[in-house]
Structure 1
Amino acid sequence: MGEMDIGNTRRDAAAVAGVGHTEYSRNSGVTTLTLAVRAIQAALADAGLSRRDVDGVACHRVGDSADPALVAQTLGVRDLRFVRDVFGGGSSCIAPLDAAASAVAAGQARCVVVWRALNGRSGVRMAGAASNPALSADAQYWLPYRHISAPQQFAMFARMYRHKYGVTAEDLGRVAIAQRAHAALNPRAMMRQPITMDDYLGSRWIAEPLRLLDCCLESDAAVALVVTSAARARDLRRTPVTITATAFGGGNQLASNHHSDPTVPGAAIMAPRLYAAAGLGPDDIDLAELYDAFTPLVPLQLEAYGFCEPGEAAHMIADGATRLGGALPVNTHGGHLSEGYVHGLNHVAEAVLQLRHECGERQVPGAEVALSTAQPGVYSGLTGAVILKRAA
């Protein structure tokens, strides 16, 4: 059985039947266990299901969240048939969804809840003083130079990308401005005040050439999804959104992969497999929720996933193609830059809501197919993505 056949066996067999969020805040005042359970309960209610229906759990985390077995016990799951606990941050955000879809398609479980919960602002902050740099093998090369925080690392990538393609500060500013405009239409978003180019250029340096408005938010929040079979989902409360295809790939780490070009991420190598598994191409995608820990990752992925040629994404963004009303609306909820940072799972949730046509003022008219991505493989050994489809 070839790669494409493997992808086809699971195409559209499982569906996201429910979506749940907690409040996005800077200080939740509760544990990540509480956040996880609240988001899961909201997702189950959205689907018209209860805790008694759950027989599988799946999450991703970096030592900053609740054990999925504990979450299952807290939910009162008595016959737990499936557990997936994925270590990893944004690069791994598609993995628990993929695992849930596979378990449902194989008959291993009937209803799997997928979540990400973190106190990313009031608790352990990513790559802060309280984090564990030993988790990365490359840390031995970074620490002597105090080059450990995510903004420092991605600033190096931003310099390479800008130099290679002549990308300007204003090009990156347009990413932040467009996503803030989308967030202004999103009641959940942490940052809803529109920004101008002057606001962007006037924001303080974090790690040159990255400014404050180039960087994602730090958030306390949880997001959850309910995954069940496509057949069962049709009998539930909401319009089903099927999981058409997922794919995974590798990535670059500058210290250890010095022979590779970080401006050609793992996502670019992986994307053809994703489209082949889905039986679709870039022209079939109605909207894209692209992992945006930092602004340069948005144009990088527009190129990697074939929406434009390498080096052309800045022009695509300047022409308005990625705004609501454009040819390919991107990060319609405001993304990590303006809605909140829930490590990629909030992007999947937004894609589902868009395909259910429930996004109000920010709705992409007639949306049928969406792409949601993980971190594209910059400073990470992994990447992933999912294509979702509104059920007929």
Structure 2
Amino acid sequence: MSARVAAIAGIGATEFSKDSGRSELRLAVEAVRAALDDAGLTPADVDGMVTFTMDTNPEITVAQACGMGELSFFSRVHYGGGAACATVQQAALAVAAGAAEVVVCYRAFNERSGRRFGSGVRHREPSAEGVALGWVMPYGLLTPASWVAMAAQRYLHTYGLTPQEAFGPVAVTARRHAATNPAAYFHGRPITLADHAASRWIAEPLRLLDCCQETDGGQALVVTTLERARDLPRPPAVVTAAAQGAGRGQEQMTGFHRGDLTALRESAVVARQLWRTSGLGPADIDVGIVYDHFTPFVLMQLEAYGFCGPGEAAGFVAADRLPLNTHGGQLGEAYLHGMNGIAEAVRQVRGTSPNQVPGAARALVTAGTGVPTSGLVLTADG
């Protein structure tokens, strides 16, 4: 969609930890209230809610706990981290259609102290969604890291790269930014390429520092009409373009039969929509917030979005040609299924990031890949 009728007017988060000591509902409520405070709005102003199918906090329960009134719109988006930007798309569509005027997007979980997604498949009842896993589980492919490792190994082979030279710059860049972000879990703890190369194997060719962390926390965003956002305390982050995408024959991180394992077809679908509807291109983007669940998929996304050619992304990142994941990403700040990345893009176009890019007015945000995914172009107003 090409909107420019909707904007993100508020952002709020809990602290990012490994043991929150409180329920996921409380985390959600804290994040939502913080986002509303940031927007200069009250719970009574909210008439719409959007979250992930994976979230354990029902919209009506969060609304009750926050003291909201009637809701005229509520929605959930599937496919884990691939849903992140699509929550904002759903909210923007709702305000553009007049279905709601103030929509809160949220995600909250105890992903470290509670259910740990990275632990992979433990028990699944037979289902249409789970059928694809039956083709890979008998061979030991049981975790997201093992699924991504298959594509990562092919990427290295195709382009004649080593894990350190290909994936190391992504990890080092994220941790460099996290080190100067007080909200980041790894604040004050940068790493070197040598640290990356010395970290233990998780699923070859992925090392520990190629994998996102696990986080307890919550993040919320407030979406409203651009007209209303202009009257609120914070500069609006305009939703200039939003898109979802799934490739032909898409599976959830196990589509090893899809042909070229070195490319992300779902990202290409989203990229085409974003560039077409925004009227922008890679050269126009001031900062890239690229979903970094695993370092290899950061490289493949940069290539899918046209920032560089196939096999060139490692050099692109090493040369620092685009400010990338300036909050520290999910490798360095927190793993909130990408919602904290959207908040960083808002800070960049507001001019309030701890790692502010001078003059940043246009930000690309991507969501989880290897699954049906989504993306945003957020811009400064004016």
- Do they fold alike, i.e. is TM over 0.5? yes
Structure 1 CA distance for aligned equivalents of residues 291 and 195 of structure 2? 23
The corresponding residue for 1:230 is: 226
Q: Deviations over 1:150-190 (max 9, x none)?
A: 11111111101111122322221111111111011111111
Structure 2 CA distance for aligned equivalents of residues 65 and 336 of structure 1? 21
Q: Deviations over 1:59-93 (max 9, x none)?
A: 0142x521112112222222111101223311111
Does structure 2 conserve the Cα–Cα contact (< 8 Å) formed by 1:161 and 1:263? yes
Q: How far off its partner does 1:127 sit?
A: 4.6
Of 78, 83, 95 in structure 2, the residue corresponding to residue 92 of structure 1 is 83
Q: Which secondary structure state, in structure 1, belongs to the residue aligned with residue 26 of structure 2?
A: helix
Q: Deviations over 1:307-337 (max 9, x none)?
A: 111111111122222xxxxxx1010011010
Q: How far off its partner does 1:250 sit?
A: 1.1
Of 127, 144, 149 in structure 1, the residue corresponding to residue 143 of structure 2 is 149
The corresponding residue for 1:174 is: 169
Percent of counterpart pairs with the same letter? Answer: 47
The corresponding residue for 1:27 is: 19
Q: Deviations over 1:119-158 (max 9, x none)?
A: 1100100052686545533121122223111111111111
Structure 2 CA distance for aligned equivalents of residues 320 and 158 of structure 1? 22
Structure 2 CA distance for aligned equivalents of residues 246 and 129 of structure 1? 30
Q: How far off its partner does 1:375 sit?
A: 1.7
Residues 239/115 of structure 1: CA separation in 2 closer, same or farther (3 Å cut): same
Does structure 2 conserve the Cα–Cα contact (< 8 Å) formed by 1:133 and 1:139? no
Q: Deviations over 1:275-325 (max 9, x none)?
A: 11111111111001000001111111111101111111111122222xxxx
Q: Which secondary structure state, in structure 1, belongs to the residue aligned with residue 119 of structure 2?
A: coil
Structure 2 CA distance for aligned equivalents of residues 131 and 354 of structure 1? 40
Of 125, 131, 137 in structure 1, the residue corresponding to residue 116 of structure 2 is 125
* Count of residue pairs the alignment pairs up: 373
Structure 2, gaps ≥5 residues long: none
Does structure 1 conserve the Cα–Cα contact (< 8 Å) formed by 2:120 and 2:143? no
The corresponding residue for 1:183 is: 178
Of 339, 349, 361 in structure 2, the residue corresponding to residue 368 of structure 1 is 361
The corresponding residue for 1:264 is: 263
Structure 1 CA distance for aligned equivalents of residues 254 and 84 of structure 2? 24
Specify the code of the residue in structure 2 equivalent to 1:279: G
Alignment of 1:352-367 (within 5 A): 352-360=346-354, 362-367=355-360
Of 219, 237, 240 in structure 1, the residue corresponding to residue 236 of structure 2 is 240
Residues 220/365 of structure 1: CA separation in 2 closer, same or farther (3 Å cut): same
Structure 1 CA distance for aligned equivalents of residues 225 and 298 of structure 2? 32
Alignment of 1:44-55 (within 5 A): 44-55=36-47
Q: Which secondary structure state, in structure 1, belongs to the residue aligned with residue 242 of structure 2?
A: strand
Residues 85/139 of structure 1: CA separation in 2 closer, same or farther (3 Å cut): same
Q: How far off its partner does 1:230 sit?
A: 0.3
Structure 2 CA distance for aligned equivalents of residues 76 and 46 of structure 1? 17
Q: How far off its partner does 1:235 sit?
A: 0.5
Residues 372/129 of structure 1: CA separation in 2 closer, same or farther (3 Å cut): closer
Does structure 2 conserve the Cα–Cα contact (< 8 Å) formed by 1:104 and 1:110? yes
Runs of 4 or more off by more than 4 Å in structure 1?
Answer: 129-135, 254-257
Structure 1 CA distance for aligned equivalents of residues 170 and 41 of structure 2? 38
The corresponding residue for 1:14 is: 6
Matched, 1:330 2:324: yes
Residues 259/333 of structure 1: CA separation in 2 closer, same or farther (3 Å cut): closer
Q: Which secondary structure state, in structure 2, belongs to the residue aligned with residue 116 of structure 1?
A: strand
Q: Which secondary structure state, in structure 1, belongs to the residue aligned with residue 117 of structure 2?
A: coil
Structure 1 CA distance for aligned equivalents of residues 10 and 328 of structure 2? 21
Structure 2 CA distance for aligned equivalents of residues 284 and 198 of structure 1? 33
Alignment of 1:331-350 (within 5 A): 331-350=325-344
Structure 1 CA distance for aligned equivalents of residues 98 and 57 of structure 2? 26
Residues 179/127 of structure 1: CA separation in 2 closer, same or farther (3 Å cut): closer
Alignment of 1:264-303 (within 5 A): 264-265=263-264, 266-303=266-303
Does structure 1 conserve the Cα–Cα contact (< 8 Å) formed by 2:121 and 2:142? no
Does structure 2 conserve the Cα–Cα contact (< 8 Å) formed by 1:93 and 1:374? yes
Q: Which secondary structure state, in structure 2, belongs to the residue aligned with residue 94 of structure 1?
A: helix
Structure 1 CA distance for aligned equivalents of residues 376 and 122 of structure 2? 29
Structure 2 CA distance for aligned equivalents of residues 292 and 330 of structure 1? 10
Structure 1 CA distance for aligned equivalents of residues 223 and 258 of structure 2? 40
Q: How far off its partner does 1:198 sit?
A: 1.4
Does structure 2 conserve the Cα–Cα contact (< 8 Å) formed by 1:25 and 1:220? yes
RMSD (Å), alpha carbons? 1.6
Q: Which secondary structure state, in structure 2, belongs to the residue aligned with residue 112 of structure 1?
A: strand
Q: Which secondary structure state, in structure 2, belongs to the residue aligned with residue 138 of structure 1?
A: helix
Q: Deviations over 1:352-386 (max 9, x none)?
A: 011100013x100000000000123x2x2x11111
